[in-house]
Chains A and B, each alone.
Chain A
């Protein structure tokens, strides 16, 4: 019988960026053993020498002509965002805990992803986007 503790589920929830109530953590942990037992049946089969399938069709490297097609305007593209200014999606500062060391991303504040930055990048401004 497989099992996962409440703390294991809490760790997975943190990795998946889902805040969960205590009640949910406990209930999910109690169901998980049963679900893992059911899916662990894949380990009952001798799979030596069997190649994995990630995709059902043998389609590889699909290319297209590098031509400009009509696409959304920045205003259209941003129109669904919960917070925006005319050229950017607005986001809160990252929590330092989650950032890799030596990152320059601390400098971003409520303007983490700016379409204008992407535009500059695509017009050959070298190097990473700086905040």
Chain B
């Protein structure tokens, strides 16, 4: 698309309009978008077209449309984080990520659906209803960035942005057959990213190919003085690495704990085949042991709810969003209690209550304190593993896309879906999911996860591009081209 734009074969306005038409055609069945900003998108496209005609030097992604997860603020555009408590809120400022993508000339089509405050793995926890997987509309696209992943998978947008606290980019990328990357913690500014769990949250890119994803990653990343946790150091070039397609001599570590029992047979089969492909390309495959990973899920479901119980205290019915019970004689507390009851969904309440419990005096050391120590052990496991291998790999999710409603009454089963993605977040490192093929038993996409040490995001793209090139030549095209038609032209 970038090439066609720069050659003048197509204008950004035409490209943007084509995607708006696609959204109008299929989003009533996919429901990826919460808000479509046709006017803003076409205005940005017209600006880019004018700049191009004027001969200005443009970013390679200038004029390309993008879908934005509704967790990032965009000035003047409704931003809800999938919650009723923020219904109708229009932020007064752009998040740093949005400023950067606007500056690059990227066209924001609209805001995508998500589990409320990014708490969930299926997008079923959205206050505005679920998103449907374009591969099979009776199934979830994963979550929490399910709207962004579904938009890319359904050809409603070539690029999207999500956020990943426990796997919320990689798992939906896996379940919808696209590429998704969670960057190193601190690589992308969190300014304007509505906080769920501040020490785990990180925004990142989705694309249909590894190179597209790298180009967007490059735009999003960089030090930001507005985010005190943003890393002020140069990272290796992700775009150059995505063009390398070479794993000769690289050591690839398979994590013993993240495969086998509990993983669907078709998921394991595609994972094993991808490993063979990497070996045939000249990589050396080694097995690594990460014994503390067994406790990662438990640690995550203490740390994230604890941080969320504190972060979501900002929804106090005073500064923004919903206010309920506003009658004469009401107290500040009664209004806040009633508003938070009406504004938050079940999963959000469940996590706030769990976090409140884990942080309460008498239980703090046993729960939150222990979880923080497990986090140290996981970091140590990774350090040992990365001493033996350049990157580590696993299936992204234990299963392919599950049916809508299948796990919604069983929080533990839902939480187990994040078992392979969560260790990355606890350690603050980076991870990618890319398509590994379709599972034989259900013909649904399987994701292959690559993990690299902090700040070595470029290695994800190097290994990912090599695997992708080999698999695409084997399949005779990208996996996404095998997705069933939703009606309308792609």
Give how many A residues have a beta carbon under 8 Å from the other chain's beta carbons: 57
Docked Cα-Cα span, A17 to B334, in Å, equals 8
Docked Cα-Cα span, A42 to B319, in Å, equals 37
A56 touches B185 (CB 8 A): yes
Q: Which of B192-235 contact A (CB under 8 A)?
A: 199, 225, 228-229, 231
B415 interfacial contact with A, CB 8 Å: yes
Provide the main secondary structure of the chain A interface.
Answer: loop
B263 interfacial contact with A, CB 8 Å: no
B292 touches A45 (CB 8 A): yes
Q: Mark B368-401, 1 if CB is under 8 A from A, else 0.
A: 0111111111010000000000000000000000
A107 interfacial contact with B, CB 8 Å: no
Q: Which of A32-61 contact B (CB under 8 A)?
A: 32, 34-36, 38-45, 47, 50-57, 59
- From A40, A54, A64, A80, give the contact of B89 (CB < 8 A): A80
A24 interfacial contact with B, CB 8 Å: yes
B326 touches A82 (CB 8 A): yes
Contacts of A80 in B (CB 8 A): 89-92, 319-321
- From A14, A42, A57, A97, give the contact of B428 (CB < 8 A): A57
Q: Which of A47-101 contact B (CB under 8 A)?
A: 47, 50-57, 59, 62, 64, 72, 76-77, 79-83, 89, 91-95, 97-98
> B138 to nearest A CB, angstroms?
26
- From A19, A38, A41, A54, give the contact of B199 (CB < 8 A): A54
B367 interfacial contact with A, CB 8 Å: yes
A18 touches B298 (CB 8 A): no
B54 interfacial contact with A, CB 8 Å: no
Q: Which of B422-455 contact A (CB under 8 A)?
A: 426-429, 454
A50 touches B335 (CB 8 A): no
B376 touches A51 (CB 8 A): yes
Contacts of A52 in B (CB 8 A): 369, 372-373, 375-376
Docked Cα-Cα span, A82 to B358, in Å, equals 32
B323 interfacial contact with A, CB 8 Å: yes
A42 touches B302 (CB 8 A): yes
Q: Mark B399-434, 1 if CB is under 8 A from A, else 0.
A: 000000000000110010000000000111100000
- From A35, A53, A59, give the contact of B231 (CB < 8 A): A59
> B76 to nearest A CB, angstroms?
11
- From B302, B366, B411, give the contact of A31 (CB < 8 A): B411
A20 interfacial contact with B, CB 8 Å: yes
A16 interfacial contact with B, CB 8 Å: yes
Contacts of B231 in A (CB 8 A): 57, 59
Task: Name which of A13, A17, A36, A55 has the most chain B CB atoms within 10 A of its CB.
Answer: A17
B29 interfacial contact with A, CB 8 Å: no
B356 touches A91 (CB 8 A): no
B23 interfacial contact with A, CB 8 Å: no
B22 interfacial contact with A, CB 8 Å: no
Instruction: Identify the 9 closest CB pairs spanning chains A and B, nearest first.
Output: A56-B428, A52-B372, A80-B320, A95-B331, A82-B323, A19-B337, A41-B298, A42-B370, A19-B341
